[in-house]
Amino acid sequence: MYSFNRRCISFLLLVPAVWRADAADFDPLQYVDQLIGSRAGGNVFPGATLPYGMAKAVADTNSGSNQGGFTLDGTPILGFSALHDSGTGGEPSLGNFPLFPYAACPGDDINLCVYPKKTRVAFGAFDSKSVVARPGFFSVTLNTGVKAEMTAAQRTALFRFTFPTATNGAHPLLLQDLSDLHDSRQDNGSVSVDPTTGRIKGQGVFVSSFSQGQYTSYFCTDFSGSKIFDNGIFANSRASANVKNLTVSRSINGYPLPGGAFVRFESPEKPVTARVGLSFISSDQACSNAEEEIPDFDFDAVQSAATTAWREKLSPITVSTGGGVDPDQIKNFYSGIYRTMVNPQNYTGENPNWETGEPYFDSFYCLWDSFRSQIPFLTVLDPSSVEQMIRSLIETYKHEGWLPDCHMSFSKGYTQVVNLLAVFDGYLKGLAGGIDWDVGYEAVVKDAEVEPFDWCCHGRGGIDSWKSLGYIPVQDFDYKGFGTLTRSLSRTLEYSYNDFTIAQMAKAMNKTTDAEKYLDSSNNWKNLYKENQTSSLFSGANTGFVGFFQPKYLNGTWGSQNPLKCSNIDNTGSVCSLQNTGAETFESSIWEYGFYVPHDQGSLVTLYGGPSNFVKRLDYLHDQNITYIGNEPAFLTVFQYHYAGRPGLSAKRSHFYIPRFFDTTPEGLPGNDDSGAMGSFVAFSMMGLFPNPGQDVYLITPPFFESVNITSPVTGKTATIRAINFDPTYAAIYIQSATLDGKPYTKNWIDHSFFTEGKELVLTLGKNESSWGTAVKDLPPSVGEYVGFNGTAVSRRIVPPNLRYPLEFRRPGLGFGQV
Ligand SMILES: *[C@@H]1O[C@H](CO)[C@@H](O)[C@H](O)[C@H]1NC(C)=O
Ligand SMILES: *[C@@H]1O[C@H](CO)[C@@H](O)[C@H](O)[C@H]1NC(C)=O
Ligand SMILES: *[C@@H]1O[C@H](CO)[C@@H](O)[C@H](O)[C@H]1NC(C)=O
Ligand SMILES: *[C@@H]1O[C@H](CO)[C@@H](O)[C@H](O)[C@H]1NC(C)=O
Ligand SMILES: *[C@@H]1O[C@H](CO)[C@@H](O)[C@H](O)[C@H]1NC(C)=O
Ligand SMILES: *[C@@H]1O[C@H](CO)[C@@H](O)[C@H](O)[C@H]1NC(C)=O
Ligand SMILES: *[C@@H]1O[C@H](CO)[C@@H](O)[C@H](O)[C@H]1NC(C)=O
Ligand SMILES: *[C@@H]1O[C@H](CO)[C@@H](O)[C@H](O)[C@H]1NC(C)=O
Ligand SMILES: *[C@@H]1O[C@H](CO)[C@@H](O)[C@H](O)[C@H]1NC(C)=O
Ligand SMILES: *[C@@H]1O[C@H](CO)[C@@H](O)[C@H](O)[C@H]1NC(C)=O
């Protein structure tokens, strides 16, 4: 009924006042479900936090998949802690200093309460129906009857424990221990409790989860509500109210010794509010953070401030709820957006390694995942935060000498590959906000030019070979720097693209010589293309496709890697990550990396035998499950049909994956959310514009909604995407024609000015593919030419506004035959 009204009004162009009231009523937060991805490996953080907040409060479960703290997989609760990452794989991060509540100790004897994490988990069972998760809020009731609610400020979490009154007369107990999720505490964690106020302070040294580093974290916990009855410390399974300080050694048999403090309260009648201040500088700073942020323990006020902060972040984007669209799709969309702002985390003022007044963000986990769509999404929706992240990365470069790929808990993590600021495309999209782009440029050039002694965690390896041979050889001879000598093929492809993005940045900065140089080396991917390489399935059947990338030795002889090795259908036990025995492709196959030439799809289409063969190959990649949408290299392949002049097939493919692989259930993610990377894939796909990251290009598909409005936080202008003939069953997902600001628009892509200048894109949809967006002139930019398209006997190269490469910039053919 409401939607019917909306539609009539939009056609009749009636009173705008109605619209304003309507837009004001729209609350995106009602569509956020934080529990999506809390089961089956999504590893999301579903608890209470502010956007990019450092304090992240949630219940931690005893799950093998508790990287984000809480899971809905039936495992019981270990404690309630306030530092977390979201969606990561590998070892769980953070989860330091959990609290645990007891309504009473048996016989009121503190020694009969259970302290160690491993055993107290027996008291951590809960009914999943009791779980409530909303932006800025999380709550669960333990089967013991204790209800735990939590909310968060920037660096302080607030927990409210309500005890069953049946325990009248007993003294409820809260313990706080020195553990973390990963059980990584090193020597001499310490805790103290103030006998009068019950204030607990402490610190511990822990291991960062995907790096070689360690970090020290600190806390300061104060209580409000019921009066303090007594307090003390515990070590292992025993406690005493006579001892107020504890310093504890690392471990016995590899498991950190349980140790912490406890506080008991006069009566269970009043809830107890525990305010946990956090810091990476000192426990005094943890106390002052808490005192500043939550001076009066007002749970409702903190929760309401968090809700407001989230509403502000999500409100620049509104979608039509009309047209018969399934509300679940709206939930999918906003929940995805929500997750893009949980990580990275704003640790400004908490960096123990330098304090320069610049913003400091951490939990880039990893940029290899997030550069593809998460950072580009935030560049649209929250550019000022991306500006702060870039400033933080540049400051990290200044202090650590290199840009990181992964960075968490103040340590640089293991480099997967892509690690360039330039792929952030923020320069091209006009991000400024105090970013020193000259230093940014210096950093990306250093990455390309200077080989670090240890390139485990920053920079590139094999730079001599790269320069002399034009590829990274398998089993490289490299005596200048050291790292895992694997991934030679994926590194070649990724370094090529990285060089392209440097060229683009150089060009925009008028550094013409550099632009030529890096554009030249951005062609290096061609050196690993073996035109007669075939590919057979593991069953032995030939896929019928010829021409694949292959590894190459130093002496120029081809190496060999099955193009399906490390694909989603490889069940042969291949080693595909950062192990010494890893493959020549990282976390992915040659089949999939075979499309990773984001800057030169024209040449790639030609190599693969022209557009229709390119489409066949892309279809085969998806239909045979060679790629898996649960890992980030798959993202762009969903939309690469655009480059073959078949934008309709990109739309079809995105509907193949959403909601089939992305839905609103707790198991609704196909893999780790990876700090919100999956969330951003959903958000951009459903919005109908998908970025080719590193370029000022968004590929156009119909949105999953009748209309989408995005207000640029920079200019205040509102961009609109509107579908005519919107079909909520998604049978009509093919663009028949389009207008941009009222004028016919045939290009199948659009640039960032769409958002900043608040343009209007109107798409007329139909049930069949059309000729819209299929002509060579409609295709997105490419370094090499598009040939073999209908009506293009003589090929032409697209020269987009931001890529005005004079012809002489292009190196003539590198000696491979055209197919
Ligand atoms: C931990 O404390 C003990 C006792 O004071 C001391 O001997 C040891 O060196 C300390 N360990 C570390 C890593 O600081
Ligand atoms: C216990 O810790 C507090 C706070 O850290 C400190 O002020 C006090 O001196 C310590 N007491 C002992 C006996 O170490
Ligand atoms: C988008 O903005 C236009 C113009 O202000 C308005 O008419 C329309 O209702 C908005 N649509 C949505 C989905 O918010
Ligand atoms: C990060 O934290 C600093 C210090 O509290 C604050 O000034 C800044 O606005 C925050 N940035 C974001 C994006 O939240
Ligand atoms: C590059 O040169 C053009 C033309 O001279 C000028 O308009 C532009 O501002 C320059 N850009 C930079 C970053 O210096
Ligand atoms: C494939 O091409 C290479 C040259 O690139 C050649 O040496 C090799 O013999 C060819 N292999 C087959 C099976 O044709
Ligand atoms: C090149 O090196 C590889 C690996 O060491 C070796 O197998 C191959 O025989 C060499 N080719 C030539 C032509 O020397
Ligand atoms: C691909 O995987 C899906 C399950 O996700 C399955 O239904 C389908 O049969 C698989 N296709 C092939 C060709 O194996
Ligand atoms: C759409 O395609 C189907 C077959 O795929 C065809 O039967 C139908 O006539 C087409 N509709 C239009 C309007 O071209
Ligand atoms: C070119 O036209 C032919 C015949 O009309 C058609 O089969 C083919 O799919 C078209 N190719 C492209 C890339 O549009």
Average pLDDT, the chain: 92
Predicted local distance difference test score (pLDDT) of residue 422: 65
Give the model's pLDDT for residue 805: 34
Residue 509 CA, closest ligand 5 atom number: 13
Ligand 3 centre and the CA of 319: distance in Å? 8
What type of residue sits at position 71? T
Which pLDDT value is given to residue 30?
Answer: 97
Q: CB neighbours (10 Å) of residue 219?
A: 28
Residue 80 is assigned to a structural domain of this protein:
yes
Q: What is the pLDDT of residue 419?
A: 60
Same domain, 441 and 299: no
* Sheet bearing 698-700, strands edge to edge: 689-691, 698-700, 749-750
Does ligand 7 come within 6 angstroms of the Cβ of 555? Answer: yes
Q: What is the DSSP letter of 625?
A: T
Expressed as residue numbers, the domain containing 387 is 347-460
Q: How far is the CA of 721 from the centre of ligand 9 (A)?
A: 26
pLDDT tens-place string over residues 119-156: 999 999 999 999 999 999 999 999 999 999 999 999 99
- 135 part of a folded domain: yes
- Angle between helical axes of 2-12 and 16-25 (0-180°, round to 10): 140
- Give a three-class secondary structure readout of 168-188: CCCCCEEEEECCCCCCCCCCC
CA distance 329 to 34: 15
Which pLDDT value is given to residue 423?
66
Provide φ and ψ at 462, rounded to 5°.
70, 30
At 277 the three-state DSSP class reads: strand
214 and 131 part of one domain: yes
The b-or-e profile of 620-639 (16+ CB within 10 A means b, else e) is bbbeeebbbbbbbbbbbbbb
- How remote is the CA of residue 800 from the centroid of ligand 5, in Å? 17
pLDDT at 21 over 90: no
Do 284 and 385 belong together in one domain?
no
Question: CA 689 to CA 700: how far, in whole Å?
Answer: 5
> Looking at ligand 2, which residue's alpha carbon is closest to its atom 2?
192
Beta-strand relationship, 317-319 and 707-711: antiparallel
Residue 532 Cβ inside 6 Å of ligand 7? The answer reads no
Q: How confident is the model at residue 791 (pLDDT cuts 50, 70, 90)?
A: low
Here the CATH number for the domain that contains residue 382 is 1.20.1050.60
Domain boundary among 444, 460, 476: 460
- Is 168 within a domain? yes
- How large is the average pLDDT for residues 377-381? 97
Burial state string for 127-161 with b = 16 or more CB within 10 A and e = fewer than 16: eeeebebbbbbbbbbbebebbbbbbbbbbbbbbbb
210 and 143 share one domain = yes
pLDDT above 70 as % of the chain: 92
Q: Are residues 379 and 436 in the same domain?
A: yes
Q: Which atom of ligand 2 is least distant from the CA of 201? A: 5
Domain end: 314, 338, 373, which one? 314
444 with 359, same domain: the answer is yes
Between 97 and 210, name the one with better pLDDT: 97
Instruction: Give domain status of residue 160, yes or no.
Output: yes
**pLDDT greater than 50 at residue 800:** no
Q: Is residue 205 part of a domain?
A: yes
Task: Compare 90 and 658 and report the one with higher pLDDT.
Answer: 658
Report if residue 492 sits inside a domain.
no
Residue 659 inside a domain? The answer is no
Q: Which of 93, 404, 71, 110 is closest to 262 using CA atoms?
A: 110
Is the domain of 49 the same as that of 194? Answer: yes
Confidence (pLDDT) at 814: 26
Q: Which of the ligands is closest to the CA of residue 205?
A: 1
pLDDT at 415: 86
- Where are any strands of DSSP class E within 258-368? 259-265, 272-279, 317-319, 345-346, 361-362
* Six token digits for residue 170: 């007993």
pLDDT in tens, 508-527: 999 999 999 999 999 999 99
> 255 and 211 in one domain?
yes
> What single letter denotes the amino acid at residue 334?
Y
Q: Is the pLDDT of residue 20 over 80?
A: no
pTM above 0.85, yes or no: yes
pLDDT at 789 over 70: yes
Question: What tens digit of pLDDT does each residue of 619-666 get?
Answer: 999 999 999 999 999 999 999 999 999 999 999 999 999 999 999 999
- For ligand 2, pick from 178, 199, 244, 245 the residue to mutate: most ligand atoms within 8 Å of CB: 245
Question: Are residues 289 and 380 located together in one domain of the fold?
Answer: no
Q: At what angle do helices 374-381 and 677-687 cross, to 10 degrees?
A: 60
Q: Tell me which residue has its CA closest to atom 10 in ligand 10.
A: 790
> What's the CATH code of the domain at 90?
2.70.98.10
Residue 18: pLDDT over 80? no
pLDDT band at 817 (very low <50, low <70, confident <90, very high): very low
Residue 260 lies in a domain: yes
Whether residue 372 is found in the same domain as residue 283: no
In sequence order, the β-bridge partners of residue 758 are none
pLDDT for position 172: 97
Spatial neighbors of 539 by CB under 8 A, at least 6 apart, are none
Mean pLDDT of 551-555: 98
What atom in ligand 4 is closest to the CA of residue 388?
13
Q: Is the same domain home to 299 and 390?
A: no
Which of 314, 332, 362 corresponds to the end of one domain?
314
Sorting pLDDT into bands at 50, 70 and 90, what band is 239?
Answer: very high
User: For the chain, what is the domain count?
Assistant: 2
Q: Which residues line ligand 8 (CB under 6 A)?
A: 624-625
**253 and 356 co-located in one domain:** no
